[in-house]
Amino acid sequence: MSLSSLSIEPSGSKPKHLTIGRIGLYCFILICALFFLMPLYVMIVTSLKDMDEIRSGNLLYIPKTLSFYAWPKAWSEACTGFVCEGLKPGLINSIKITVPSVIVSVSLGALNGYALAFWRFKGAYLFFGLCLFGAFIPYQVMVYPLLKIESAIGIYSSLPGIILVHTIFGMPILTLIFRNFYASLPIDLFKAARIDGGNFLKIFFYVIIPMSTPITIVAVILQVTGIWNDFLLGLVFAGRDNQPMTVQLNNIVQVDFGVAEYNVDMAATILTSMIPLAVYFISGRWFVRGIAAGAIKG
Amino acid sequence: MKKLISILFSLLLPLSFTSVSKAGGHMEAEVIHWWVSGGEQAAISKFAEAWEDMGGTWIDTAITGGDNARGTTVNRIIGGNPPTAAQFNISKQFVDLVEQGQLQSLEEVASAEGWRDFIYPPELIETCEFEGEFYCVPVNIHSAQWMWINNEVFEKAGVPKPNTVQEFIAVAPKIQEAGFIPLALGGQPWQEGLMFDVVASSTLGFPHMAKLYRDKDVEAFRDGKMEMVLQTYRDLNSFIDEGAPGRLWNDATAMVVEGKAAMQIMGDWARGEFAVAGKEAKVDYDCVIPGKEKYVALGGDVFVFPKNSDPKVKEIQLKMASMMVNPTVQANFNNAKGSLPMRLDVDTSAADACMQMGLDLIQQPSAIMRENDDWNSPAFTSAWEDIISEFRNDPNYSVSAAMDDLEAVLTSGL
Amino acid sequence: MQSLTRNLASKIALLPMIIISLTVFVGCIIYSFVYSLTGSKLIPALNYVGFKQYEMLFKSRKWDVAVENIFIYGFVFTIGCLVIGFLLAVLIDQKIRGESLFRTIFLYPYAMSFVVTGLVWKWVLNPTFGFEHSMHLWGFEWFKLDWLVNRELAIYAVCIAAVWQGAGFVMVLMLAGLRGIDDDIWKSLSIEGVPKWKSYLFVILPMIRPMVVTSIVLIAAGVVKVYDLILALTSGGPGFATTTPAMYVMENFFSRANLGQAFAASIIMFISVVCILAPWAYYEFYFRNKEAKA
């Protein structure tokens, strides 16, 4: 498999000595890195300051006196209404929503991509085209009709309800990247499998899935972050017992009345971003490798 | 193939059996509201405590932001999973729900308890009554037309405290020279709209405002006074710092509390910020209702009770409605919230000097002023606010262009 | 009959997609169109008013601003992400030390939600507490960073935050493309003495076209929907200087309880997207397929 084994590491020997050009290169890349890191740095130091220092001090300085007041407050004490549980209950809910949604939507995306790439039939691309346009329709337009559909089948405001919605909205892009990946596989491989008597499902499970690791990683990463970071759909479809972490973050951060505590806001923000950040830090390398495989090849 | 179908089914089946029904439970009531800050939590918990004393269970669904909370309520009504009770403003926000038959009539308990006799002012009854039946419970009154003044800043600048917006404009340059920001503003459309309404109503008086907002009287709109109001509003601009856009109202209040700014035009909820900072009414700060004639604007909150397919819920809803208007509960709730109660026979001895001004005024029927959103749909009021906000932010937006655009909204039939 | 049973398994496998395309995507468009012809306010109602909602939409000053903004945002964000993403990918491709560290640094913002991105940048660009204040404290009194409160510049502040979030993702796509380039091509280019920057721009870039197209599709889908970011960063202000069509739709849905208008605006959005996308989709998936087969 040429694509899945595609190297992301630089090839050739390392340059031996530093030239002026390379010093310039490093300077430039360091400046870029500082620009990208600055917001994260600001978030972290702000979360460790007390409110007086935030109001009077320098945004970019490290805290004069470390204050850990904000973190436990954001995690388990901040109030929504008179329920004061912080972000903690949201974490479990977000996991309960994200894990099944990712599994269902990625499986469906892989199956669709496979069918479209190898088992084309008349009209298949018409539906795929419709589906792709779906990726460009603002969610908001679909909120009311979806509400009606979900309440008609009795899953509105429940875990299955929100999972179905994430599956629907994830499908266009997932189908697209899986289709592109499979379209880039050598067709002979597929033909050989058919001659060996493989049917639709057999080929999918025994030939295609084992080769899909790189693109599956990409799909999973995209979906985990996308679903984890969703606010609107969670608010509308999850029901009050399953409100994801982002909804609770919003409750803590967007206080209309009363004193805004920026350090608690920042701590809450970092806590909410923890899981997708960890996913990226841990799996960034596979992400780069896999993404090469999912590009549009026509 | 069969395998695939069975996979699909196993995915779909559990979905169709886990439909949610939240009735059951004795006196279990879910309430959607947007009171999430410290003082507001204290207030809503007075309702919750009273409810639980009656043997009920209070399920609290607090959602930040009125828009989000109201949106959730409507979504859940459409989705067939309505809450027991939901918060709205004293306004036309929920008229559609009444007209489409989505709300529970409270007439049974309202006529039994004689709500029409004690709800005060009677304008509140008008808000809640449709075709002779009660559909909402007003719980408090918040008035919007206040100028919040830092006494020390005015002393340092050596200028007298203003009684009208025009007087303020006359002394503001001196405040600026003394190194203070004369006017603290949060540049969000609703705050800009609120400030405009205060300028307009304090200049034109309530009867004239009613001609505009209630009667959509184009002649009254074009009688030359509105241009003056717009010009005054624009004059205020030079006394506002450039950091205003997007600022929250309470950050603007903090500027007055801390003595960075001299004054803010804001509703009576700003008082809480002064109280939290340990400032005393009439000593550290002053509250002034601008204009020669004093009005108290009638804003605030109501609760509505969406119809439920379960007949038991209606009984629970009527009990809760009755609980909310109870004089003791009203006293506890409004003292915590810092708002005026919706009936006169309530103990308000905890009121501070500023709140007392509101209490005195509201007892004079001629001083009660109704607001834009009391007569008009959210679509109308926000289209109006858009123009006001754009007028404040865009110095090239001329008074006459704004007049034309406002007239277009006035006659749009929104 | 034969055509129906051909690839039957595939048809059944695609059934969920077909059902969703028809019921949800097509269904929603029809539903939205029908209700865009009504005077629906808080909840959908079938009180037809003809094309009045569209008339009001086109007369609205706010909608004009929203349309103008989406073009500015779409252009600056797309170009910004592509240029910076490509530049970063080229830099990282120079066999630098600590490559994976830099890659992670450039990519991590993509893991943040738009709400978080908006909040952080609002904080950094805040003229009272933010970066401007820091510079003043360091003695640079003349320094001014008032983009968020400046009507003309606020939309570019949104672009900066969005590029910060999205550029790393484009970098990864481009880098993946660059790593797929055969060493022989580089060798022959250096033998011919083509300068490096020229090679990247005129030889390599066209070769990684699939990556560029993928980037554009993913970016463009985000452009149309931009809402959360602006809400968190500027709430559409100052005035309505940074409002966008998606925001206009959302506002009319929720806070303004003006459903008819929201549906009309979303139908116009959808038609615009179709007009822009259809020719490309036709070329990409139909024309090129045919060409390849011929």
Domain boundaries, given as residue ranges, for chain B: 27-141+300-344, 146-297+369-410
Q: What pLDDT does B385 receive?
A: 92
Q: What pLDDT does B22 receive?
A: 42
CB contact under 8 A, C9 and B1: yes
Q: Rounded to an integer, what distance in angstroms lies between the CA atom of residue A257 and that of residue A91? A: 25
- pLDDT tier for residue B4 given thresholds of 50, 70 and 90: very low
Q: Hey, what long-range contacts does C38-41 have (CB within 8 A, 24 or more apart)?
A: C38/C260, C39/C260, C40/C259, C40/C260, C40/C263, C41/B96, C41/B377, C41/B379, C41/C257, C41/C258, C41/C259, C41/C260
Span B264-292, pLDDT tens digits: 999 988 888 888 788 998 999 999 999 98
Q: Is B394 on the interface with C (CB under 8 A)?
A: yes
Q: Is B235 on the interface with C (CB under 8 A)?
A: no
Span B164-207, pLDDT tens digits: 999 999 999 999 999 999 999 998 888 999 999 999 999 999 99
- pLDDT tier for residue A192 given thresholds of 50, 70 and 90: confident
Closest partner residue to B377 (CB to CB) among C43, C239, C257 is C257
C192: burial class by Cβ within 10 Å (0-12, 13-18, 19+)? exposed
Q: What pLDDT does B11 receive?
A: 45
Closest partner residue to B60 (CB to CB) among A82, A154, A160 is A82
Vertex C132 angle, CA C130 and C138, to 5°: 110
Amino acid at C139: G
Closest partner residue to A157 (CB to CB) among B38, B40, B76 is B76
Q: Which residues of B81-94 are buried (b: 16+ CB within 10 A; e: fewer)?
A: bbbbbbbbbbbbbb
Task: Considering only residues C82 and A295, tell me which one the structure prediction assigns the higher pLDDT.
Answer: C82
Q: Which DSSP string do the residues of B288-301 spell out, in sequence order?
A: E--SSS--EE-EEE
pLDDT above 70 for C1: no
CB contact under 8 A, B11 and A104: yes
Average pLDDT of chain C to the nearest whole number: 86
Choose the weakest-confidence range: A52-56, A87-91, A109-113, C31-35.
A52-56
CB contact set of B203 (below 8 Å; sequence gap of 6+)? B164, B165, B166, B225, B228, B229, B232, B291
Q: What are phi and psi of A110, to 5 degrees?
A: -65, -45
Q: What pLDDT does B14 receive?
A: 42
Chain C interface test: which of B34, B63, B386 (most C C-beta within 10 Å): B386
Q: Rounded to an integer, what distance in angstroms lies between the CA atom of residue C120 and that of residue C115? A: 9
User: If you count DSSP H runs as helices and E runs as strands, how many of each does chain A have, helices first?
Assistant: 14, 0
Span A72-122, pLDDT tens digits: 888 888 777 667 788 888 899 999 999 999 999 999 999 999 998 888 777
| pTM for the predicted model, two decimal places | 0.85
Q: Rounded to an integer, what distance in angstroms lies between the CA atom of residue B342 and that of residue B355? A: 14
* Ranges of each domain in chain C: 62-293
Q: What are phi and psi of B266, to 5 degrees?
A: -160, 165
Average pLDDT of chain A to the nearest whole number: 82
Q: Which fold has domain C62-293?
A: MetI-like fold (1.10.3720)
Chain B interface test: which of A147, A200, A256, A264 (most B C-beta within 10 Å): A256
Residue C227 β-bridge partners: none
Inter-chain Cβ pairs, chain A and chain C, closer than 8 A: 282
Closest partner residue to A154 (CB to CB) among B4, B16, B250 is B16
B31: helix, strand or coil: strand
CA A257, chain centre distance (Å): 32
Residue among B101, B128, B133, B134 at smallest CA distance from B306: B101
User: Tokens for B101?
Assistant: 């038959």
Mean pLDDT of A55-71: 83
C45: helix, strand or coil: coil
* Ranges of each domain in chain A: 20-67, 88-260+267-294
**B85 membership: H or E segment, kind and range:** strand B85-89
Strands B299-304 and B136-142, sheet pairing: antiparallel
CB contact under 8 A, B93 and C257: yes
Compute the nearest-CA separation of A199 from chain B (Å).
9
- pLDDT tier for residue A11 given thresholds of 50, 70 and 90: low
Task: Considering only residues C26 and B414, tell me which one the structure prediction assigns the higher pLDDT.
Answer: C26
Span A136-145, pLDDT tens digits: 777 777 888 8
Q: Which residues of A150-168 are buried (b: 16+ CB within 10 A; e: fewer)?
A: bbeebbbbbbbbbbbbbbb
CB contact under 8 A, C237 and B189: yes
Average pLDDT of chain B to the nearest whole number: 88
Q: Rounded to an integer, what distance in angstroms lies between the CA atom of residue B202 and that of residue B236? A: 14
A82: helix, strand or coil: coil
Name the E strands within B261-313. 261-266, 285-288, 296-297, 299-304
Closest partner residue to C277 (CB to CB) among A112, A133, A288 is A133
- pLDDT tier for residue C290 given thresholds of 50, 70 and 90: low
Mean pLDDT of A128-143: 76
B189 interaction partners in chain C (CB closer than 8 Å): 237, 239-240
pLDDT above 90 for B410: yes
CATH 3.10.450.50 fits B146-297+369-410, yes or no: no
User: Tokens for C109?
Assistant: 């913002």
Q: Which DSSP string do the residues of B181-207 spell out, in sequence order?
A: EEEE--BSHHHHHHHHHHHHHHHH-HH
Q: How many CA atoms lie within 13 A of B379 on its CB side?
A: 24
Q: What are phi and psi of A256, to 5 degrees?
A: -75, -40
Compute the nearest-CA separation of B410 from chain C (Å).
13
Binding partners of A (≥3 Cβ pairs within 8 A): B, C
User: Tokens for A76?
Assistant: 């388990």
- Side by side, the strands of the sheet bearing B57-62 are B57-62, B28-33, B85-89, B299-304, B136-142
B394 interaction partners in chain C (CB closer than 8 Å): 151, 239
Task: Considering only residues A81 and B341, tell me which one the structure prediction assigns the higher pLDDT.
Answer: B341
**C121 membership: H or E segment, kind and range:** helix C114-125
Q: Rounded to an integer, what distance in angstroms lies between the CA atom of residue B170 and that of residue B166? A: 6
CB contact under 8 A, B250 and A258: yes
Span A210-248, pLDDT tens digits: 888 888 988 998 899 889 988 888 888 988 889 899 888
Q: Rounded to an integer, what distance in angstroms lies between the CA atom of residue A237 and that of residue B75? A: 9
Q: Which CA distances in Å does C1 have to B43, C5, C8?
A: 70, 7, 11
Q: What pLDDT does A110 receive?
A: 94
Tokens 């969610």 belong to A139
CB contact under 8 A, B44 and A82: yes
- pLDDT tier for residue B10 given thresholds of 50, 70 and 90: very low
Inter-chain Cβ pairs, chain A and chain B, closer than 8 A: 118
Strands B146-150 and B285-288, sheet pairing: antiparallel
Backbone torsion region of residue C57, taken as left when φ is above 0, otherwise alpha when ψ lies between -120 and 50, otherwise beta: alpha
Q: Rounded to an integer, what distance in angstroms lies between the CA atom of residue A165 and that of residue A160? A: 9
C253 interaction partners in chain B (CB closer than 8 Å): 71
Is the dihedral angle over the CA atoms A173, A176, A177, A178 positive or is it negative? positive
DSSP designation for B141 = E
Strands B57-62 and B28-33, sheet pairing: parallel
Which architecture characterizes domain B27-141+300-344 according to CATH? 3-Layer(aba) Sandwich (3.40)
User: Tokens for C54?
Assistant: 């569209």
CB C292 within 8 A of CB A298: yes
Compute the nearest-CA separation of C33 from chain B (Å).
19
* 117-176 of C, contacting A, C-beta below 8 A: 117, 119-121, 123-124, 129-131, 133-134, 137-138, 164, 168, 172-173, 175-176
CB contact under 8 A, A254 and B65: yes
CB contact under 8 A, A273 and C116: yes
B40 interaction partners in chain A (CB closer than 8 Å): 257-258
Q: Which DSSP string do the residues of B111-131 spell out, in sequence order?
A: HHHTHHHHBSSTHHHHHHEET
Q: Rounded to an integer, what distance in angstroms lies between the CA atom of residue B369 and that of residue B79? A: 37
Q: Which residues of C236-254 are buried (b: 16+ CB within 10 A; e: fewer)?
A: bbbbbbbbbbbbbbbbbbb
Which architecture characterizes domain A88-260+267-294 according to CATH? Orthogonal Bundle (1.10)
Nearest CA in chain C to B189: C239
CB contact set of B317 (below 8 Å; sequence gap of 6+)? B29, B84, B85, B104, B106, B305, B308
Q: Rounded to an integer, what distance in angstroms lies between the CA atom of residue A220 and that of residue A99? A: 10
Q: Rounded to an integer, what distance in angstroms lies between the CA atom of residue A190 and that of residue B21? A: 49
Nearest CA in chain B to A80: B36
Q: What pLDDT does B245 receive?
A: 87
Q: Is C185 on the interface with A (CB under 8 A)?
A: no
Closest partner residue to B96 (CB to CB) among C154, C237, C257 is C257
A182: helix, strand or coil: helix
Q: Rounded to an integer, what distance in angstroms lies between the CA atom of residue A14 and that of residue A10? A: 9
pLDDT above 70 for B1: no
B188 interaction partners in chain C (CB closer than 8 Å): 235, 237
B344: burial class by Cβ within 10 Å (0-12, 13-18, 19+)? middle
Residue B342 burial (CB count, 10 A): 26
Q: What are phi and psi of B282, to 5 degrees?
A: 70, -10
